[in-house]
Chains A and B, each alone.
Chain A
Amino acid sequence: MANLRLIARLDIKGPNLIKGVHLEGLRVVGDPQQYAREYYEQGADELVYMDIVASLYGRNNLTDIVRKAAHDIFVPLTVGGGVRSVDDVNMLLRVGADKVAVNTAAVARPQLVTEVARRFGSQCMVLSIEAKRIAADRWEAYTDNGREKTGLDVVEWAKKAEKLGAGEILLTSVDQEGTRKGFDVPLVKAVSASVGIPVIASGGMGSVEHLVQVAGEGAADAVAMADCLHYKRLTVGEIRAAAQAAGLGVRSL
């Protein structure tokens, strides 16, 4: 497999970088550009921006933030939240996004995944899944920051999205998100084993041990980290060094 990617995830509300628990109870962290630049300088492999109130307003409000980021941050940028159409995708790519993450609109109209992949390539089309555990080895996909049920089984939805043309899956565990208690490793393992496209594990990273678990047992291709970086418990550099020491293949700087 390719090197494990270490991704900094920035959840955005209005002009602010925020952080919640279980995708709710949001706290303002600070200026997204300042944090983004810091993570780039620390050696983050990619950045993910999520407009977490976009679904409420029916549109993504990140164009200014993304344009600023793309101005002087030279790693891939994925942008999600409120992306509803091929035109929305085009607008985000034009301001400097490399990929878009789609959740709610893809659930409502799965064909959108195919339309985006055909027009811009699969590499642009990241399916975002918010997963909640409903049984020992079953998870349901949610939308709107883990508030709305979809009735979709996460593993089946991931497989279907791959067939529709998704190039990557951003898999967020609502149960683990913001808890610092570790990833939902069985969730990541179940999805990762069911698809041929890369899976980004998100939600729960509190320590480097968690990273080692989700990359090893969970077979994640990438990890998205927020809390541990935003509150300066760890730097990307420390995480990379620890991952290397644990024998994980990561980019060497």
Chain B
Amino acid sequence: MSRKLVIVDYGIGNLYSVTRAFESCGASVTLTASHEHIEDAERVVLPGVGAFEDGMKGMTGRGQAEPVKRFIASGRPFLGICVGMQLLMDVGEEFGEHAGLGVIPGRVQAVPATRADGRPHRIPHIGWNALLPPEHRPDWSGGLLDGLPERPAVYFVHSFAPVPAEQQHRLADCDYDGRRISAVIRSGSAYGCQFHPEKSGPIGLKIVENFLRL
């Protein structure tokens, strides 16, 4: 099992923390904007904060979108974090409609502005929230969420979230005032986390560790 990893630098995001989280789990990290590095990688992490459109423009402007899609299609382990996760979807609705990478069918939509009972709640959704299995109870063993305790709390900060069209792509949700939000999505070996594993303490590092074992 190799612990070599490429983190895609596409001009947005706090790359230092992501790099450090993977290094602290024993990974040897290459931080790169180069499409050759991406195509040749054993594992790829796509981090990101900011807006969907900026993220997509950052990637296409650097010629990274197609190499990332080819990397994912090859079945090697991939992890998108926050906006890096949202980019896996077909379309993002933040500041107008923008095409994503189209790896997972569905859209990235605003987090509902109200609780389930209709009263307003805080947007962005900021803070620690527990990962929950969706209704179809996908198996967490052996994958990114292997071996986590019940209701593991992780750190979220976002105003938009993916809404996968197909249930099979939903691996974990969180509950924000009665609203189910997709927290982890998956297609084969490609995973996306809406929360920040690099900011989620020991639970987050366990997820990082799991990714390195895929």
Instruction: From known contacts A94-B16, A95-B16, infer whether A120 and B50 are also in contact, taking CB-CB under 8 Å.
Output: yes
Contacting residue for B21 out of A3, A74, A122, A197, CB 8 A: A74
Q: Quick one: which of B136-184 are within 8 Å of A by CB?
A: 151, 153, 155-159, 176-177
Q: Quick one: which of B108-131 are within 8 Å of A by CB?
A: 120-130
Chain B residue contacts of A96, Cβ below 8 A: 14, 16-17, 20
**A75 & B201 in contact (Cβ 8 Å cutoff):** yes
Enumerate 23 A-B pairs (CB-CB under 8 Å) in ascending A order.
Answer: A1-B177, A2-B122, A2-B125, A2-B126, A45-B128, A45-B155, A67-B16, A72-B20, A74-B204, A75-B199, A75-B201, A94-B14, A98-B199, A120-B49, A121-B50, A123-B124, A123-B157, A123-B158, A168-B126, A198-B122, A198-B124, A222-B127, A251-B128
Contacting residue for A123 out of B126, B129, B153, B204, CB 8 A: B126
- Partner-A contacts on B (CB < 8 A): 14, 16-17, 20-21, 24, 49-51, 120-130, 151, 153, 155-159, 176-177, 196, 198-202, 204-205
Chain B residue contacts of A97, Cβ below 8 A: 14
By the criterion of a CB under 8 Å from any partner CB, how many residues of chain A are at the interface? 35
CA distance A221 to B123 in the complex (A): 12
Told that A1-B121, A197-B123 touch, could you supply 10 new A-B pairs with CB distance under 8 A? A1-B177, A3-B153, A45-B128, A67-B16, A74-B204, A75-B201, A96-B16, A120-B50, A123-B158, A123-B159
Q: How close is B54's CB to chain A, nearest CB, in angstroms?
A: 9
Contacting residue for A121 out of B51, B123, B177, CB 8 A: B51
**A76 & B129 in contact (Cβ 8 Å cutoff):** no
Chain B residue contacts of A196, Cβ below 8 A: 120, 122-123
- Partner-B contacts on A (CB < 8 A): 1-3, 5, 40, 43, 45, 67, 70-72, 74-76, 93-98, 120-124, 167-168, 196-198, 221-222, 251-253
Minimum CB distance partner of B83 in chain A: A121
Chain A residue contacts of B51, Cβ below 8 A: 121
CA distance A55 to B155 in the complex (A): 31
